[in-house]
């Protein structure tokens, strides 16, 4: 089987970093993207220490909100590895603030990063996959993409939008040989809440209790890796009560609304 070429955004920490290491251990050619080049270099070194050949890892800094730069980034990957077998759109930012306390600029940033950035990079990669008649597009959505939760109005809005876009894209391209997967994590032990936006756009800077008690990030990456290898259309991953909310939403939306309020 040919060596898989995997591009992961948001690869400088959290789920993206753990997933990069998992693919490195599997011998894939890995492209690491995020804004912080120094952190990407650290992750690249971890990949090499895990046994990945030096020429099988590419550090490619990018900002998903810089749409004009994305086609050039795609070309760099193609020039380096020849193909893009899997794109994992994992870049993102969260939010912790009540709606009444949230500046519109915060909502705009959430939409720009979590929605439009994922769409823009996907659109830049999609022609290559359609031309080949092969490829796999994935996005890290969230349980928040299906369930509304307080203090996360903008984040929930963005993740709902991402789920809708990629579900619709799947219906368009699956017959063309391109697979689409939506990843729906619950509470995973990462720095997502520390890096979240407060209502004024500043850094929230706190570790939520539910995040602190969440699934280990490496365990999460293993579930995602197996789901992507199996080309699952939707990959729920988590271990807490929030995962039950996915079923409650289907069976009794009214019950879920009351639980969310509580």
23 part of the active site = no
DSSP 2: P
Q: At CB < 8 A and 24+ separation, what contacts does 57-60 make? A: 57/24, 57/29, 57/30, 57/31, 57/32, 58/29, 58/30, 58/31, 58/32, 59/32, 60/7, 60/31, 60/32, 60/33
The H or E element spanning position 5 is strand 5-9
- CB neighbour burial string for 64-77, b if at least 16 within 10 angstroms, e if fewer: beebeebeebbeeb
Nearest-angstrom CA–CA distance, 74 and 25? 24
Cβ neighbours around 135 below 10 Å, total = 23
Of the chain, the end-to-end C-alpha distance in Å amounts to 51
Tokens at 117, concatenated: 């950035």
What is the longest distance spanned by two Cα atoms in the chain? 54
How far out from the chain centre does Cα 38 lie? Answer: 20
Task: Determine the 3-state secondary structure of 167 from DSSP.
Answer: helix
Catalytic entry in 23, 107, 155, 204: 155
- Catalytic residue set: 155
């Amino acid at each position: 089987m040919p060596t898989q070429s995997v591009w992961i955004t948001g690869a400088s920490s959290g789920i993206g970093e753990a997933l990069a290491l998992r693919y490195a251990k599997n011998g894939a050619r890995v492209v690491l993207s995020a804004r912080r080049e120094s952190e990407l270099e650290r992750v690249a070194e971890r990949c090499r220490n895990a046994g990945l050949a030096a020429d099988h890892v590419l550090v490619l800094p990018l900002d998903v909100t810089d749409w004009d730069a994305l086609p050039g980034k795609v070309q760099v990957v193609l020039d380096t590895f020849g193909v893009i077998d899997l794109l994992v759109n994992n870049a993102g930012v969260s939010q912790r603030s009540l709606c009444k306390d949230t500046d519109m600029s915060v909502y705009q940033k959430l939409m720009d990063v979590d929605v439009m950035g994922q769409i823009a990079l996907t659109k830049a990669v999609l022609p290559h996959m359609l031309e080949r008649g092969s490829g796999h597009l994935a996005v890290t959505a969230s349980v928040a993409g299906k369930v509304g939760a307080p203090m996360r109005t903008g984040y929930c809005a963005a993740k709902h939008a991402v789920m809708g876009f990629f579900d619709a894209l799947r219906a368009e391209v699956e017959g063309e040989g391109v697979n689409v997967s939506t990843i729906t994590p619950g509470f995973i032990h990462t720095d997502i809440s520390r890096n979240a936006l407060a209502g004024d756009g500043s850094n929230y800077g706190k570790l939520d209790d539910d995040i602190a008690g969440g699934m280990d990030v490496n365990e999460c990456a293993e579930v995602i890796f197996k789901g992507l290898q199996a080309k699952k259309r939707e990959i729920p991953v988590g271990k807490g009560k929030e995962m039950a909310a996915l079923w409650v939403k289907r069976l009794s939306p009214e019950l879920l609304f009351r639980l969310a309020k509580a």
